[in-house]
Amino acid sequence: MSTRTHSTETRYVITHVHADGLRALTFACQGRNTYASQAEAESALAIWRNPDGLPRVLSASEMESLAVRPVECWLPGPNAVQPFQGDPVGIYFDISNEAS
């Protein structure tokens, strides 16, 4: 029996708090909605905050909770089949230290 291990790297994603109180990814990621730096993710978030962006699909409270968060993402394995580069390892974020 072989054990597969994959390396990860820290990337940045746009998140918001859902109606159920959990902070999660705002977009399906699959690598394409992750960013190499926090500044790059903040720039993307600024674009989505315009009136023709996310306000059309998110509630006002979800819009207020938008934030960039670091997330561990998979790097391709030796055969580069899956997981794909940039895919987040998890989709939920700790909100215990966020202001209510």
Per-residue pLDDT of the chain (100 residues; tens, 9 = 90+): 445 566 888 999 999 998 888 898 888 766 778 899 999 999 999 988 877 766 677 888 888 899 999 998 887 666 555 545 678 887 777 777 676 5
Domain boundaries, the chain: 8-93
**What is each CA distance from 48 to 14, 27, 34, 84, 100, in whole angstroms?**
10, 11, 14, 25, 23
The Cα 4–Cα 14 span in angstroms is 29
